[in-house]
Each structure stands twice: as C-alpha cells, then as structure tokens.
Amino acid sequence: MTSNLVRGATGDWEVVIGLEVHAQVSSNAKLFSGASATFGADPNQNVSLVDAAMPGMLPVINHECVRQAVRTGLGLRADINLVSVFDRKNYFYADLPQGYQISQFKQPIVGEGKLRIDLPDGSSRNIGIERLHLEQDAGKSMHDQHPSKSYIDLNRTGVALMEIVSRPDMRSSIEAASYVRKLRSIMRYLGTCDGNMEEGSLRADVNVSVRRPGEALGTRTETKNLNSLRFIQQAIDFEVVRQIEILEDSGEIDQETRLFDTTTGTTRTMRSKEDAHDYRYFPDPDLLPLVISQDEVDELAAALPELPDQIKDRLTGDYGLSAYDAAVITEERETALFYEAASQQHDRKLVANWMTVELFGALNKSGQTLAECKVTPKRLGGLVGLISDGTISGKIAKDVFAVMFETGGDAANIVEEKGLKQVSDSGAIEALIDAVIAANEDKVAEYRAGKDKLFGFFVGQVMKKSGGQANPGIVNQILRTRLDGGG
C-alpha cells in the first residue's frame, strides 16, 4: 500500500478520519408514526400528529425499520444486539418538534462490525464499524424564503435513519470516499437504503484530525452533512490542509462542528454553537426496550442476498478478473447480476471487458441506466460468444454492439442481416492477399529487404479489402507465410 502521509512544511503528517453516516432506512412509513417516508411531497404533507409533536402523541415503532437495521448490521458483519434501548437526545431546534430526537445512545441495535473498502489501486482493507443505531430524522428549515423568517417543513421529521459510526481507521480522503461508496453499495444490495445522496438519503459527518506519525490522536473537527462523495473528499482535503497550517504555525485546533460550503469547497465554524452538546440523554419513557429474537435475526440472515465482497472474491478468484473490473462490476447489485447472467456460458474476462468498456461507455453517453437499456445479459453474452468462436472480429463486434444498444437485437441476427460474418475461409483470404501483394510489389520488396514494420500495412490492406470481415488471425498467418516464405 502506498503511504498516505501528507507532507507539510515541517515534516510528514498522518491524517485520521472517522465517519458517521446517516442512512435513510427504506420503508413505507416513518420510524415512530404512520406517515409516509416518501421524499418530495408538499410541505407538511407527510406529517402525522406524532411527527408534529402535538400534546399527548406517542411513538410506536415500525417493525420493518428494525428489520432493515438488522439486515444492515448483518451486511456489516456486525454483532446484533437482541436487546437495545431508545433514548431521548434533548435539544431545541425549529425542525425538531418534540424538543428531542429519539435515538439510541447506550445500547444500540447493532454493535461492532467491519467493512472492506476497495481502493483505486486494486487493494482492499478493513475499516472498523463501531456501531449502528436507529434514530429519527429531523425536519427541514429553509432560510432563504423570507428576509427575517425561517420556514419549517416536517415531512422528513421522524423518518427512520441508521447512524453508522466507523472507527477512526481511515487515513485519506480517498479511503473515506471508498468507505462511503462500499457502505452505500452494501445497503443498496440489501435494499435497506436507496443511497440517494442528492435527495439526502445518505449523508456523512466527517471527523478529521492530523498527527505526527506514531503520535497520539490530534484534536478533531466534525464537518456535518456532506451529501456527495466529492464533497466528502473536498471537505477532508480542506480540513487536512487547514489543520496542518494551524499546527505548523504553532496554533491549536478547536474541537468544533464545522459546515461545508459546497460552492467554495471550504469548511467554516458553525455560528450557532450547540450548548456544548449537553444532550441530556435518558431512556425514552414512552418506549420499552426493543427486543428481537435470535430466530428473527437468523431468518433475516438466511434471506440476505450475496453481497459485493463475496461476488468480487469470486470474480477475481474463480473468473480471474482484475480487482478493478471486479470492483466496478460489483458496486451495484444490478450490474453484478447482469454480469453473472451475461458471462454464464461465455469468456468471463471478455464479458467483463465488454461490460466495463463498451456497455458502461454507451450508458454513460446516453445517460441511461442499466435497467433502462435495451441490451439484455443474454444478448451481451451472445455477442461475446460470436467473438470467441471467431464468427466476428472484435472490431465488427463494436458495430454489432452499437446496433444492439439501439435496437436491443440479437447479435447473431444483426450479423446475419448486415452480412458482417467474419471470413475465415482461407481460400477467400488467400485471394485477397494475392490481390494486395500484386498491387504493392514495391512494398513487398521493401519488406523483404528488412523493413519489418510494413507487415502491419499489409494486414490493414487485407482487412480493408475484406470490409473488416476477414478473420485477422488467419490473415496474419497466411500473410506471414506468403511474405516470409518468398512465395
């Protein structure tokens, strides 16, 4: 692994990063009320009297949210706590109607686990998970609607969140981004969080500190509510530079909460300090201990889908794919399933290549998702099959693919219709070669005189004459005997 140390003016610094990720639980209704958890309704439309904290309203927990937390815990190879407790986290804010957030403080539903991250250089490593707990989301305050007023929408109030807390195990912004990417991927495989960062379904608070290698942890700052991988990296990179500058200037880092400015890519101190965080946690007396049975946990475990790490291991191990290709293919479950289906009876590596280069390229260009596109796994596999059995060349295959992407047609049919079948008949190829040699006698002489580089020229001419359909292997082979053999 390459070193992650950051060079400052006075020497090297080590970056220490821990993440708190807030992931919205995929569910129909909210954690403690029957209002819809859907995004995008009119203001205060998805609000029940419980969410609005009307006098006398009481919370009742949504079983599915509990199951989703357990599934996620299992996906993070974490301990599931059969007994957990909901606490109240007390603070005043306009978008927190109860004056407290129901959360889990001392006894979370999920304990320690680990997450394997895949780094761009193809290496992987484990990041510790400290805990996962269930809690309520807050509402939304809008500050730009009126010069002296804030507007409050409680639609998100009470939507179930999983807060997933990592160990401070990450050493670079790239690792942090890889962590969030993998976490998102696992939750999407599990169907426990849609991972939609733009809509706020997944947000991260990053804790960053720097220290001299081998020394004790430095003072950390927490930058809140980052809702894209790019912002996470930017915020960390900015904090690292800022903190190193302060420390090298003999200054001290304030332990504080900071806000990220998406337009400038910088962080700044929050103006409203939160009362030194005296949240006065205590067990919510409206709720009883949450007890789940081992049987239910086992049932959920048995029904878990195969997760990206397992699939990736098979792809790199059994199928011989590169770590990079395997990581790309397994990030999304749909892609992994597509790949498995497409490559089932075909050259695994070749299918991987076609997916990551041609298919993803075309999707990118057209702005389509895999689910929207007309190419089915079977069709893509068929195309690769035609290459493998020599029916078409790789070059022709690209033309076939272009048609397939447009129409969703079968590769063999397209080849048939367009007459693109590769010519492997050596008699036909010999005729082409003869014609090329006859038309370029001067070049033949030069070649034979030692200008080896001209071989490629002859191959090109033959292929051109065949309209690209000549089997390049056979062309090479015959050309070689004809030119070198002096015939």
Q: Interface residues for other proteins in 99-158 (CB under 8 A)?
A: 99-100, 141-143, 145-154
92 near other proteins (CB under 8 A): yes
Contact 326, 351 (CB under 8 A): no
**Amino acid residing at 359:** L
How far, in Å, are 90, 194, 383, 476 from residue 68 at the CA level?
A: 26, 12, 39, 59
Give the integer Cα–Cα distance in Å for 199 and 43: 15
What is the C-alpha R_g of the chain?
30
Beta bridge partners of 404: none
In the list 1, 58, 303, 371, the residue contacting other proteins (rule: CB under 8 A) is: 58
With b meaning 16 or more CB within 10 Å and e meaning fewer, what string describes 458-477? bbebbbebbebbbbbebbee
* Count of residues interacting with other proteins (CB under 8 A): 73
CB of 105 to other proteins, least distance (A): 11
40 near other proteins (CB under 8 A): no
SS3 125: strand
CB of 274 to other proteins, least distance (A): 11
In the list 24, 72, 98, 330, the residue contacting other proteins (rule: CB under 8 A) is: 98
For residue 288, what are the contacts with CB-CB under 8 A and spacing of at least 6?
A: none
In the list 5, 174, 270, 297, the residue contacting other proteins (rule: CB under 8 A) is: 270
Q: What is the DSSP letter of 276?
A: G
- Long-range (24+ apart) CB contacts under 8 A made by 305-308 are 305/189, 305/190, 305/333, 306/189, 307/75, 307/186, 307/189, 307/190, 308/182, 308/185, 308/186, 308/189, 308/333, 308/336
Give the nearer residue to other proteins in terms of CB position, either 42 or 372.
42
CB of 278 to other proteins, least distance (A): 5
In the list 97, 218, 381, 382, the residue contacting other proteins (rule: CB under 8 A) is: 97
CB neighbours of residue 120 within 10 Å: 10
Give the nearer residue to other proteins in terms of CB position, either 84 or 166.
84
Contact stretch for other proteins (CB under 8 A) within 11-19, 59-67, 169-177, 183-191: 59-67
CB of 99 to other proteins, least distance (A): 2
Give the nearer residue to other proteins in terms of CB position, either 128 or 283.
283
Contact stretch for other proteins (CB under 8 A) within 12-20, 115-123, 236-244, 274-282: 274-282
SS3 175: helix
Give the integer Cα–Cα distance in Å for 360 and 376: 13
CB of 144 to other proteins, least distance (A): 10
For residue 181, what are the contacts with CB-CB under 8 A and spacing of at least 6?
A: 117, 229, 331
CB of 369 to other proteins, least distance (A): 26
- What's the distance, CA 163 to chain centroid? 18
CB of 28 to other proteins, least distance (A): 5
CB of 90 to other proteins, least distance (A): 5
Give the nearer residue to other proteins in terms of CB position, either 157 or 178.
157
CB of 92 to other proteins, least distance (A): 5
SS3 272: coil
Residues 286-305 that bind other proteins (CB under 8 A): 286-291
Give the nearer residue to other proteins in terms of CB position, either 2 or 272.
272
264 near other proteins (CB under 8 A): no
In the list 11, 12, 49, 406, the residue contacting other proteins (rule: CB under 8 A) is: 49
> What distance, in Å, lies between the first and last C-alpha atoms of the chain?
56
**Using CB under 8 A as the criterion, what x/- string covers residues 230-259 for binding other proteins?**
-----------------------------x
Contact 67, 301 (CB under 8 A): no
Give the integer Cα–Cα distance in Å for 347 and 387: 10
CB of 207 to other proteins, least distance (A): 19
In the list 14, 16, 24, 59, the residue contacting other proteins (rule: CB under 8 A) is: 59
- Helical (H) or strand (E) element with 154: none
Residues 182-221 that bind other proteins (CB under 8 A): none
Give the nearer residue to other proteins in terms of CB position, either 159 or 433.
159
